[in-house]
Amino acid sequence: MSDNEHLLDSKCLSADDVLLVPQHGELSSRDDAELYPFIYSAPMDRVTGYELAKILLDAGEHAVIPRDLPAQEWHKCAKELRSHPNVFFAISPKEEFLSQFFSYMKDYGLTGVNVAIDIAHGDSSMAYHCSLKLLHEPLVNKIMSGSVATPEGALRCYRSGCTHIRIGIGPGSRCTTREMTGFGVPQLSAVYNINKRLHTEAGVARHGITLIADGGIRTPGDAAKYLAAGADAIMMGSEFSRAIESPGWEFQGYAPPTPGEDGSVRFPAPPPTPIYGKSFRGCASAEHQGDHKGQASACPEGTSVELQYDGHTTAQSVIDRYRRGLASAVSYAGRKRLQELGPSIPMIQITRAAQVEGSSIA
């Protein structure tokens, strides 16, 4: 048994609980690291709209179009992005939504569409029945599962036709499922255990499945840990919600002029700086439910936070930061390409003191 197996088979861990151990470097520069597309945007109405999706796709990454975008923007995405191989459309597993979705796709003359089953409990009969129906639908190409956190759930999704497995019950920054229900699996262990089972289960060709770590990703270092645990890709909501191209920003006024050290204001004053803000909310938050269902659950499994645009974050800057971080991770791992950043990279459990030592806290 490897050190990683001994660690992760005996404990349930999150990304903050571990560090990857540096290995002898093979690259002369991190710029030489070979990457592949590994980023998916979350299908959230304040994350992925047409503008952000277009930038992701142009960069060679993946966009998942939310099913609850404003109708005009959803149809723009369907009309202009539908033929791109890296775009997925989130769909409800409910029969009435499926019928409407396929009607729209037929109207656009579309074949080979990628779909993401948008359900919080992906290991459910409703999700399986939806996947099996999609499997026999000639319009559909790839199928992304709903959210799962166990090897058994991932296997059931695979066997019902899913090509992409979305991993994560409760790790997202706006998700409160674990607090409201008590259910979930620490994300690093969830990824590791699912990858291991799919590798070892008889009859399952792991290379034919894409594992996506969804939620709990705040830094490129988190992404590196999830890929080292066995994921093929990451899905991000919070990071992209801060990009100016994400939906929902509203003009809130102008920032007051900044006085000089002596308290005076420069004249003539520079052009006023516009301020943009929005609410970023989980799909199961009371605010989101109120907007899209007309009423909120008595026990919502998501929260909202008010954001103000920082003046410089773009979708491309987020992509560049994560690509740069993962290129460095490949170098520290002693590898040459991102495909080699897997469970063979040594991983150690750390203390809270070690977390603080390695953080940016002064």
CATH number for the domain including 155?
3.20.20.70
> In Å, how far from its chain's centre is CA 221?
15
Given the structure tokens 């959210």, which residue do they identify? 147
Q: Give the mean pLDDT of the chain.
A: 90
Does the residue 230 lie in any domain? yes
Cα separation, 283 vs 265, whole angstroms: 44
Say what the pTM is: 0.92
Q: Which of 77, 130, 157, 175 is catalytic?
A: 175
Instruction: Give me the mean pLDDT over the 3-15 stretch.
Output: 82
Note down the domain range covering 194: 3-26+33-246+313-357
Give mean pLDDT, residues 101-120: 91
Asked if the structure places residue 272 within a domain, the reply is no
* 175 annotated active-site: yes
**Predicted confidence (pLDDT) at residue 280 exceeds the cutoff of 60:** yes
**304 within a domain of the structure (yes/no):** no
- The predicted model gives 141-149 an average pLDDT of 97
Question: What pLDDT band is residue 362 in, cutting at 50, 70 and 90?
Answer: very low
Lowest-confidence pick of 3-12, 30-39, 84-93, 303-312: 3-12
pLDDT single digits (tens) 155-208? 999 999 999 999 999 888 788 888 889 999 999 999 999 999 998 875 666 778
- The pLDDT tens digits of the residues spanning 297-349 come to 777 767 888 999 999 999 999 999 999 999 999 999 999 999 999 999 999 99
Q: What is the mean pLDDT of residues 213-238?
A: 96
Kindly report which listed range (85-89, 266-270, 272-276, 336-340) carries the lowest average pLDDT score.
Answer: 266-270
What's residue 174's pLDDT? 80
- Residue 184 within a domain: yes
Within a domain: 56: yes
What is the per-residue pLDDT for 360? 74
Q: Is residue 276 part of a domain?
A: no
Number of domains the chain contains: 1
pLDDT surpasses 80 at 142: yes
Q: State how far the Cα of 113 lies from the Cα of 82, in Å rounded to an integer.
A: 7
169 within 8 A of 301, measured Cβ to Cβ: no
253 within a domain of the structure (yes/no): no
Q: 294 falls in which pLDDT band (50, 70, 90)?
A: low
Residue type, 362: A
Domain assignment present for 151: yes
> Range with the lowest mean pLDDT among 68-72, 300-304, 355-359?
300-304
